[in-house]
Chain A
Amino acid sequence: MKIRKPNPPQARDLANYPEDMLLRMYERMYLIREFELTVNTLFLKGKMPGTIHLCHGQEATAVGVCHGLRPDDYITMTHRPHGQAIAKGVTPKAMLAELFGKEGGCCKGKGGSMHVGDITIGALPAIAIVGASSPIAAGVAFGFQRQKTGQVICNFFGEGTVNKGDWHEAMNLAAIWKLPIIFFCENNFWGVTTHVSDVMLNEFVAERAGAYGMPGITVYGNDPLEVYHAVQDAAKRAREGGGPTLIEALTYRRGGHKRDDPANYRPREEVDAWLEQDPIPLFRARLAKLPSFPETKLAAIEAGVQATLVEAIDFAQASPLPPKSMALEHVYA
């Protein structure tokens, strides 16, 4: 096993970016983090059924991607989809109710944590089988291309996916047909308990893009702006008919694979190095240096998020359970 430590690039000057974009980026990252911590607490209290895969630590990837896309673009999500869904705009209310298995959930309680989504805002309900979403995302891109809609899709997956046949088939199909798709790898180095260096000889996932004749790029995934620029470039190329791009964002999950996993299989040295690079306080500190982001403003954003979450919990708890008859619905269109 080869330990992988963070290697942040020279930070970009935030003064060059629109204030509302920076505000929105911080608000979304903070919301995702607090949402995940809330979910964790509710789980520990035994209030939620099922299992859960938290994404805290990876907020900058999801938020960076969705800022690099147009609102009418699509995403596909993984079994760890909460951050991706919130970044795209699925409401915390509809998400929490879904996690509770309630009728008010985004999928009326029929999907749960691993299948959240809202097709009306381009968040295709999440696909939890590793690799399976890549051909489907390529198909959505194919639909966009053939119907000349000008839209792009971003296919989220983890580094564990890049040894799956489905992924390779999708990469090749997207490349030969120049489909408007971004293959976006959240490389957190750990596929459940297995380190990427034990199952892949390439140092970077992005190297594999060359095998399919498409561009590949590795970016630092704990800075939303690094991700944002890579996605913006790839989306532009895809929209102009230049075909797909593979983007690899290096990041880390702060917790285990799932809620009851202490992740003690990870070496302390690697964990400590990454935990120090927490994307949220680091981005906050950069914002705080700008005159347009006084402490009061940052505190107000955070208070707003907390209020949103209180409201979401109330909504989810008050939402009715689905009627049993619903188990037999939605099988066929």
Chain B
Amino acid sequence: MHNSTTTSPVPAKPEARNLTIVQALREALREEMNRDGSVFVMGEDIRVGGSFLFTLGLLDEYGPERVINTPISESGFVGLGIGAAITGMRPIIDFQYGDFVFCAMDQIAQQASKLRYMSAGQVKVPLVLQMPTGASGRSGQHTNSMEGYFFHVPGIKIVTPATPYDAKGLFKAAVRDDNTVLFCVHKHLYGSKGRNLVSSSISTGHVPEEEYLIPLGLADVKRVGRDITVVSNLLMLHRVMNVAEKLAREQAIEVEIVDMRCIVPLDTETVVKSVQKTSRLLVVEETHHRGGWGASVAAAVAEQAIGFLDGPIRRLATPDVPIPFSPVLEDAVIPSEEEIRNTILEMLKS
């Protein structure tokens, strides 16, 4: 240890309890494990915290009966989670990378999502998958925006939080939900030690001590504005936030930002309401352009509020190519702050 004198950053306000997403998630997990003995967590290497340190320290607190280190058998332990959930337990599965969920595709898309439906409600599958999603400099097989792949699957819910406050409240609601929930957090947003935390005014934030839950399926207006509605989530939300703050400062443009913190159920009502006020809609998502959830948002606005629009709906998404490794190439495919800013300015000119 060379440097033992580093000090932690001082919170902005004395009463603020600023946490990162991973700290908020860990706190939510602890609270739910304390509340309900049927909650347990399993995954690869979670004895030391897992890839993003979601379970850091929990083995010591809860023991190997409830913090279960698994072999590398994604399909096996997702299926095992389904079976345990059917018996009334509440399994949480921590994925090192959400990308590995493909190995368990049948268990999610054909089993967890359908066993209740095909049996006319005989069983329920309360299962949460904690899935790091999105691109973070690791080439094609560790950079998928997993939420996009599962958006088409009926019978599961998909949560995509972007702030510590939302992550905690939504996670607790996900654990108590009686359905299978894919809980997708962007790899740049956890704030785990040793990883870049994206910089924006809401990357870390106040999380109250007292318990709260956020119901699944409600979008959240993260910034109120009058000139244009931008719908986004995950990492893209932070980029939109940075652009909006700059535009307000420099050009007095007021962007309204809708955070699609769940994409299933998809709260299009909040978007339509916002567009009725601003008359312009831009959707920014990291998922691939073809069939992205943003297309469903655009379609809903076209169906329900086209008369309110002053110009065409625009979408920024990752082009339909795998994510390349070289940072310059990765940056070239993921929507950037510059692209977001230019698109907003173009839209406001028309």
Contact = CB atoms under 8 A, between A and B. Distances in A.
26 contacts: A107-B120, A108-B120, A110-B118, A110-B120, A111-B119, A115-B118, A115-B119, A132-B110, A135-B79, A136-B79, A139-B81, A139-B83, A139-B85, A139-B86, A140-B86, A142-B83, A143-B84, A166-B106, A169-B76, A329-B121, A330-B117, A330-B121, A331-B116, A332-B179, A333-B124, A333-B178
B71 to A, nearest CB: 6
Interface string B122-139: 111010000000000000
A144 interface: yes
Q: Among A108, A110, A143, A332, find the residue whose CB has the most chain B CB atoms closer than 10 A.
A: A332
Contacts of A316: none
Contact of A107 (B80, B119, B155): B119
B89 A333 contact: no
Interface string A259-303: 000000000000000000000000000000000000000000000
Contact of B120 (A136, A139, A330, A333): A330
Chain B interface size, as a band, is: 35 or more
A265 to B, nearest CB: 27
A111 B116 CA distance: 10
Contact of A143 (B70, B89, B116, B118): B89
Q: Looking at chain A's contact residues, is the secondary structure mostly helix, strand, loop, or mixed?
A: helix
A108 B73 CA distance: 34
A170 interface: yes
Contacts of A118: 122
Contacts of B83: 135-143
A108 B116 CA distance: 12
Interface string B65-90: 10000110101111111111111110
A235 B106 CA distance: 29
Contact of A139 (B79, B116, B117): B79
B22 to A, nearest CB: 27
B111 interface: yes
Nearest to A165: B75
Interface stretch (A47-55, A122-130, A245-253): A122-130
Given A139-B84, A143-B87, A332-B155, A134 B116 contact: no
Q: Among A124, A142, A326, find the residue whose CB has the most chain B CB atoms closer than 10 A.
A: A142
Contacts of A108: 120
Interface residues of A, number: 41
Interface in B52-110: 65, 70-71, 73, 75-89, 91, 106-107, 110
B48 to A, nearest CB: 19
Contact of A146 (B65, B78, B81): B65
Contacts of B71: 169, 172-173, 176
Contact of A111 (B107, B118, B155): B118
A129 B106 contact: yes
Contact of B75 (A124, A146, A169): A169
Q: Among B83, B88, B120, find the residue whose CB has the most chain A CB atoms closer than 10 A.
A: B83
A120 B71 CA distance: 32
A3 interface: no
B311 interface: no
Given A107-B120, A330-B120, A166 B76 contact: yes
Interface of A: 107-111, 115, 117-120, 124-125, 127, 129, 132, 134-144, 146-147, 165-166, 169-170, 172-173, 176, 326, 329-333
A139 B80 contact: yes
B111 A136 contact: yes
B111 A333 contact: no
B154 interface: yes
B76 A138 contact: yes
B115 interface: yes
A89 to B, nearest CB: 15
Given A139-B79, A143-B83, A143-B84, A172 B73 contact: yes
Nearest to A171: B76
Interface string B168-192: 0000000000110000000000000
B79 A125 contact: no
Contacts of B179: 332-333
Contacts of A333: 116, 121, 124, 126, 178-179
A173 B84 CA distance: 13
A143 B124 CA distance: 14
Contacts of A115: 118-119
B76 A173 contact: yes
A173 B119 contact: no
A119 B122 contact: yes
A130 B78 CA distance: 16
Contacts of A166: 75-76, 79, 106-107
Contacts of A169: 71, 73, 75-77, 79
* Those 9 A-B pairs whose CB atoms lie nearest each other, nearest first: A139-B83, A135-B79, A143-B87, A169-B76, A333-B178, A108-B120, A139-B80, A125-B119, A169-B73
Contacts of B87: 139-140, 142-144, 147
Nearest to A179: B80
A169 B83 CA distance: 14
Nearest to B72: A169
A125 B81 contact: no
